[in-house]
Chains A and B, each alone.
Chain A
Amino acid sequence: MKYIDEFRNKDLVITLTREISKKSRKRIRIMEVCGGHTLAIRKYGIQHLLPDNIELLSGPGCPVCVTNRTSIDRAIALSRLPGIIITTYGDLIRVRGSVSSLDQEKAQGADIRIVYSTMDALEIARNNTDKKVIFLGIGFETTTPSSAVAISEAVSQRIDNFYVLSMHKLMPPAMSALIEQGIHIDGYIGPGHVTAIAGADMYKPLLDQFGVSVVISGFEPVDLLQSVLMLVNMAEENRNGIEIQYKRAVTPQGNKKAIELVHHIFEPCDDEWRGLGSIRNSGLAIRKEYQHHNAALYFDVNVATAPEPEGCLCGEVLRGLKKPPDCRLFGKVCTPANPIGACMVSGEGACQAYFNYR
């Protein structure tokens, strides 16, 4: 396939691997903060192509994984209300809340439907005017615009029975929070599709405040190795910066149309992340003008703050403090078929990526 095959080219991989070995002297820790990168790095064995002085860490890049238990409990509480259809992207339904998962609620009769796109959720609302249809909005900068389009379309098409529960999150505040929490990171592999939307300039505060380099990367082996090389070059030359490897899709400014639409519908709010806790202005709430479509305001459900599962190290894994095999549940009681922690639920969670590509 065009734009995939050429970035899996073996000769280019060998060239980059040699170049990295030639240039790299310093011991550096590189973190990726995108589930797609987590998956690709494990799948292609990228760590094994690098010299021992380069350590790759996985961060909080999987939206399903960083959605905390309290949020799952809230979604479950909504699904139990009468006359409700819950629509959601697939992975979320398998994440355990305090006592149940959306999957289990569905088995017990709740109307929970997996959709591929917010447009499908909107269609369900249009076809079920006697029901209230709630879309569970999770995801980072890449995914938020599709929720914004759905709300904007619901307004213009007067689909009054459509609501979004916004659990959308912003990536740069989490990247800053990790550094503030004292986690040693020399450079970030920046999330390619998050940045295709939001633009590489959004990392400037991270660079200015903490001096941490970011290279925005594509998702194929050639992309990832070239991004590592760019970070190695910056480290060896004692400079830091924001550089784009994934130039075929990413610009400094991003997708202006998508950014404006998101800004129009959503405003920043403090948000809770699994493992990282509360991070200032890291979430997105629906603006007052669109409150008719805001499930968080419209439906009154009380949910207690829920602790994470006992023994589960997802919180540490998401901060790069532990690797999945460090968890005593990993691969024993916690497996993709029976996930205890959220990082084992999603195919791009660090635990499932480690499990599948051991």
Chain B
Amino acid sequence: MCLSIPAKILSVEGNTAKASVGGAIINTSLHLVDDIQPGDYVLIHTGFALQKISEEEALETIRMIEEMESGEPVA
């Protein structure tokens, strides 16, 4: 039920946006988020964008695991 999918915002019009989910284009409501621009990735749940996805944090999460492999200390 709380499933949510990452979607790329294509265009914004008022409180709604068109977003691409792996190529499929869906409408999403922007009532719950601020400052959404085309190109942003958001989590969509029951037609609502819940949260912007942070690219920086995603890369950092992966970097931490990759460092384990090389034996470097992990914070």
Q: Is the CB of A15 within 8 A of B68?
A: yes
Closest Cβ of chain A to B49, distance in Å, is 10
How many Å lie between the Cα of A89 and that of B47 in the bound state? 12
Given known contacts A36-B3, A193-B4, A248-B58, A117 and B47 CB-to-CB distance under 8 angstroms: yes
Interface residues on B, range: 20 to 34
Quick one: CB contact mask for B11-52 with A, threshold 8 Å, 1 for yes? 000000000011000000101111000000101011110110
How many Å lie between the Cα of A261 and that of B22 in the bound state? 30
Closest Cβ of chain B to A67, distance in Å, is 10
Of the listed stretches A125-133, A139-147, A282-290, name the one at the interface; the rest are far from the partner chain: A139-147
Q: List A residues 279-312 near B (Cβ within 8 Å).
A: none
Q: Is the CB of A117 within 8 A of B29?
A: yes
Q: List A residues 1-37 near B (Cβ within 8 Å).
A: 1-4, 6-7, 9, 11-12, 15-16, 19, 34-36
Q: Is the CB of A139 within 8 A of B1?
A: yes
Q: Is the CB of A146 within 8 A of B2?
A: no
Chain A count of residues within 8 A CB distance of the other chain? 54
Residues of A contacting B29 with CB < 8 Å?
Answer: 117, 119, 146, 149
Cβ contact of A91, chosen from B1, B41, B48, cutoff 8 A: B1
Q: Is the CB of B43 within 8 A of A249?
A: yes
Cβ contact of B50, chosen from A2, A16, A138, A142, cutoff 8 A: A142
Q: Is the CB of A255 within 8 A of B33?
A: yes
Q: Is the CB of A35 within 8 A of B1?
A: yes
A-B contact pairs, 10 of them (CB 8 A): A3-B58, A34-B2, A61-B2, A119-B29, A139-B2, A247-B54, A248-B54, A248-B57, A257-B33, A346-B1
Given A2-B8, A64-B1, A146-B32, 19 extra CB contacts under 8 A: A1-B6, A9-B62, A15-B69, A34-B2, A36-B4, A140-B2, A143-B45, A146-B48, A193-B43, A196-B51, A247-B54, A247-B58, A248-B54, A248-B58, A257-B32, A257-B33, A258-B50, A261-B31, A348-B3
A: residues with CB less than 8 A from B are 1-4, 6-7, 9, 11-12, 15-16, 19, 34-36, 61-64, 89, 91, 116-120, 138-140, 142-143, 145-146, 149, 191-194, 196-197, 219, 222, 226, 245, 247-250, 255, 257-258, 261, 346, 348
